[in-house]
Amino acid sequence: MRLNQRQMEIFNAIMVHKSVTAAAASLRTSQPTVSRELRDLEKQIGFDLFNRFGKRLTPTSQAQLLHSVVARSFVGMEEISRVATAIKGHNAAHLRIACLPAYAEAFLPHVTFRFLKTRPQVHLSVHSLEEVALRHDMTTQLFDIGLTEGSYDYDEATTEKIDVSELLCVLPAGHHLTAKVVIDPQDFQGVAFVYFSQEDPYRRTLDEIFDAAGIVRRYTVETTTATGVCSMVAAGVGVSIVNPFTAAHYVDRGIVLRKLSVRVPYHVYLWRPAKGLRSPHADQFVRVLRQVTEEMKQRLKVILAD
């Protein structure tokens, strides 16, 4: 089965605009044409992409899964258009970064601010993706820098491990566990706990620690990002254990940090294209990233020593 670009444009337009009429307007074609081509696409792939209720279309789960891949191809085309525009305007300094949502929300803003102070002419694009999608997209070499929790081997690319710190306990202000300087696994027995999804590698590590100690936590809510976890903790939903980047970001936002007695080292893997494809702006960005990381580590030492 081979799908063409036109089919993907129509599918993407309907998913984005939520209706055939709006999709047709965005593509400068007629509604009957879009409807016909959508039916042809569904016939070709062998399953329905939308549930139809009169004139209203609701994407099926299969459509949402397919669009998660299709949308990235359109992001790539938009990226090419922006670069072409920059070249035309003699301003081709462009740096593309892919990372986990936790880094985009709690760490990279500080790196970006400092980097742009010295290189304001550079245009940055930061794409936050979950680990599986991030791993796939880095193989396309669309990005100059990738930041992940896992290490992967790619042709024409390198990964480097950066030692950040260790996982930290995050507690709501006023929680009874804040009375302790170091939290033991046993202290979490029966305590309301906010956690990551099952796919998170650090969740699996922590589960092994608690299982080995025979500790049963009381799960209250599960979410997919570290910032989501910390927001829940700050609201008093429960306690948790997260990466040091996000923990440091939430220090003055209703959260108290404590060490976990069982040390779980936290690393970031820095992905770069082959040396011949590297941007000098990316080299500088990485230097700033390392500086900010070291400063955060020192700040955490002071906070945890108080």
Q: What is the 3-state secondary structure (H, E, C) of 103-159?
A: HHHHCHHHHHHHHHHHCCCCEEEEEECCHHHHHHHHCCCCCCEEEECCCCCCCCEEE
Asked whether residue 203 carries a pLDDT value surpassing 50, the answer given is: yes
Q: How confident is the model at residue 92 (pLDDT cuts 50, 70, 90)?
A: low
pLDDT at 264: 95
**Range of lowest pLDDT (90-104, 250-264, 284-298):** 90-104
The torsion angles phi and psi of 107, rounded to 5 degrees, stand at: -135, -50
**Range of lowest pLDDT (2-11, 85-94, 134-143):** 85-94
The torsion angles phi and psi of 281, rounded to 5 degrees, stand at: -65, -35
DSSP 8-state class, residue 185: G
pLDDT at 59: 86
CATH topology agreement for domains 5-68 and 93-164+267-305: no
The domain ranges of the chain are 5-68, 93-164+267-305, 168-263
Q: How confident is the model at residue 259 (pLDDT cuts 50, 70, 90)?
A: very high
pLDDT at 45: 87
Rounded to 5°, angle at Cα 87 from 84 and 92:
110
Give the helix, strand, coil percentages of the chain, each rounded to 5. 50, 25, 25
Per-residue pLDDT tens for 69-80? 777 666 656 555
The token duo for 196 is 């990551």
Q: How confident is the model at residue 121 (pLDDT cuts 50, 70, 90)?
A: confident
Alpha-carbon span 217 to 294, nearest angstrom = 33
Across residues 222-245, what is the average pLDDT?
Answer: 93
pLDDT at 169: 97
Q: Give SS3 for 89.
A: coil
Asked whether residue 126 carries a pLDDT value surpassing 50, the answer given is: yes
pLDDT at 66: 83
pLDDT at 94: 79
Q: Give SS3 for 52.
A: strand
Domain 93-164+267-305 has CATH 3.30.420.40: no
The token duo for 56 is 């209203």
**Range of lowest pLDDT (93-107, 142-156, 172-186, 240-254):** 142-156
pLDDT at 136: 65
User: Is residue 24 within a helix (H) or strand (E), and if so which, with residue range?
Assistant: helix 20-27
CB half-sphere exposure, 199, CA atoms < 13 A = 9
**Bridge partners for 59 per DSSP:** 50
Per-residue pLDDT tens for 148-181? 887 666 656 678 889 999 999 999 999 999 999 9
> CB 57: neighbour CB atoms within 10 A?
20
The token duo for 92 is 């081709």
pLDDT at 69: 75
Q: Give SS3 for 35.
A: helix
CATH number of 5-68: 1.10.10.10
Domain with residues 168-263, CATH architecture? 3-Layer(aba) Sandwich (3.40)
The token duo for 256 is 């108290």
Instruction: Name which of 269, 270, 214, 208 is nearest 241 in CA terms.
Output: 208
Alpha-carbon span 210 to 240, nearest angstrom = 13
Q: How confident is the model at residue 83 (pLDDT cuts 50, 70, 90)?
A: low
Q: Across 11-20, 141-150, 262-271, which has the greatest mean pLDDT?
A: 262-271
Across residues 120-135, what is the average pLDDT?
Answer: 79
Q: What is the pTM of this model?
A: 0.68
pLDDT at 152: 63
Q: How confident is the model at residue 46 (pLDDT cuts 50, 70, 90)?
A: confident
pLDDT at 300: 92
Torsion of CA 188, 191, 196, 201, to 10 degrees: 20
User: Is residue 272 within a helix (H) or strand (E), and if so which, with residue range?
Assistant: strand 265-273
